[in-house]
Structure formats: structure tokens, C-alpha cells
Amino acid sequence: MHPEKISVEKLAIIGDLHGHFTDDDVHYFNRSPYDLLLFVGDMGSGTRKDGVSIIRRVARLRKPTLIMPGNNDAAHLPDLAAELTYQAGRREILQALGKARSSWVIPTGYSSHVLLTPLGEVTLICGRPLSQGGSGISFAETLERVHGVGTPAVSVAKYRHLVADARTRRLMFLAHNGPTGLGETEDSLWGRDFPAPASSAADYPKDFGDDDLRDALDYATSLDKEVLAVFAGHMHRRRGTSRPLSRLQDGTTFVNAAVVPRIRSGGTGPEHHHVAVQFGPEGLVVSEHWINLASE
């Protein structure tokens, strides 16, 4: 079982992986100063073999870890859940034998977790998995089977329940895709940067965020909740483009951690990407990191 509360002074956001997560990443994050690891989804490159291979590496992490499944994970979501369940059970047996430390690596979706931070208690709300962006609900059949969510209205209701049920005033959100309301240009945090299908070009949204997540943020405000941050990915930040890492709007820090590919060539070897979030007395400090793991 994972703890009901976890102390967090510094967390890392990793994603979208798209198959780029190595044994060196496991070693680095296990030795890192991060108290919590958040994966924003798209673990593999779309195939079952690759997705399960990546999740087996992630399951070796010895840090509290939350995984938000992305749209690339939809086809093999049961495999990912089964692999994590198997790894967790195996670790519990080894721990009982004195051969392994406990860990916390779980897939999320429509759930909440209380974090103990220097700012006080903060509820992290994990939202709708498998999002493809735009309007509507992607992979509705899978979401209906796993989470009981088959329509946008039900997703909105689920989000609102999580917000209203949060025992803390301060909230953060983890999602695969970000919310609407951050802009319609291709360099907006979740703006569409690809051509619309010819059959529906007139109605295809330029703001490619999620409407249900935006409703959750507005609902939180209506309840006098303070949303500190939203962590997501999906809309890729590629080299040579101007999509930013983060944006502060109405007191909320929005972070898009989806640098693709997340491993690039550096002057002294491959560099691996992640985003750090530090909790301090003044609030959140967000920074981007490219690490040469061979030198760590």
C-alpha cells in the first residue's frame, strides 16, 4: 500500500517518455533528492512490447511515483497495470525477506493524494487518463471500463467530486493533457501545432486543452480553493519550437513537461530531460534540467 500522505519538498516531472527511459534514469532518480516522481504519460512508443518494457524499468524506482497514463498507453493499459501489480507484489515478498526496500509506483486516474509540503498540506488531484486533447472523451470504452467515465459530463462530475472532497484548500493537478484557456496559437502551452483534418477544419479547436480540466479549475476557484499548479504534457515541446515550459496565470503555475525526445545528444554524451519543482516558503520554483547521467 502507498502512504496516505507523503512529505514533499522537491518533486520531479518526467514525460512524455515515448520509449526514452533507461536503466541510467532509474539509477539517477533513485539517488536523486526528489521526494516524489510524476510521469505525465505516453510511456512507450505505442506498442505493447515497448510500453511494458518501459514500465518494468519504472517499476524499479525506489521513490513514491505516480504515473498518469497517456493516449499512447491506452491499448495496453491493462498490461501496464498488471506489470506494476506484479512488481509491487514481488517487492513486498522480497522486503519481507529483508532483500528489498519498499517503493510506491502506481498508475493514477481520477484520484487524489495529500502531500505534506513547506506550504502546508496540498491535495494533488490526478485527472483523466488517456487524453488526446481537443474536445470530447478519447478512449471512452476503456475509461468506462476502468474508471466508469464514458462521457464528458461524467468526467466533469468526477473532477468536481475530487475538488469538493479535497480536505485541503490548496490543490495541484496532474494530467496527461493540460486545460483549455492557455491560448490558441501553436506556441501556447496546449495550443494545436498541427493541421486540422480537412473534414472538420472549421470546427477543430486551436486551443487543444481539456475542457473538463478547465471546468475543474474554475470549480475549485468557486469553492475558494487555491490551485497552486497544473502538471501535464501531451502537446510536445520540440527543439526549435517556442512552446514554453510554464506559464503563471491567475496565481496558478501551468507546466508542460513534454519535451520530445527527452534524451538528446550533448557535448559529452546523451542528456536526459526532467522538470524540477521546489516547494519553498514563497511558493513553487520550477526549473528545467538536461542531465548527462554518465557523469552523475
Q: In whole angstroms, what separates CA 216 from the centre of its chain? A: 16
Nearest alpha-carbon partner for 274 in 5, 2, 24, 3: 24
| Residue spans of the chain under pLDDT 70 | 1-4, 46-50, 76-103, 240
Structure confidence at residue 144 (pLDDT):
92
Given this model, what pLDDT does residue 2 score?
42
- Which residues pair with residue 36 across a beta bridge? 11
pLDDT of residue 78: 62
Domain count within the chain: 1
In this prediction, what percent of the chain has a pLDDT beyond 90? 68
The rounded mean pLDDT for the chain is 88
* Domain that includes residue 134, residue range: 5-295
What is the Cα–Cα distance from 24 to 44, expressed in whole angstroms? 17
Distances from the Cα of 109 to the Cα of 128, 175, 190, angstroms: 6, 8, 20
pLDDT for res 198: 80
The pLDDT value given to residue 266: 85
**Does this model's pTM top 0.85?**
yes
Residue 93 is predicted with a pLDDT of 42
Task: Please give the torsion angle defined by the CA atoms of residues 210, 155, 40 and 134, in that order, rounded to the nearest 10 degrees.
Answer: -20
238 C-beta neighbours (distance < 10 Å), count: 11
Helix 211-222, helix 152-165: angle, nearest 10: 30
Note the pLDDT of residue 239: 73
The CATH number of residue 178's host domain is 3.60.21.10
Percent of the chain at pLDDT > 70 equals 87
Q: Which pLDDT score, from 0 to 100, does residue 33 have?
A: 97
Query: Residue 171: phi, psi to the nearest 5?
Result: -130, 155
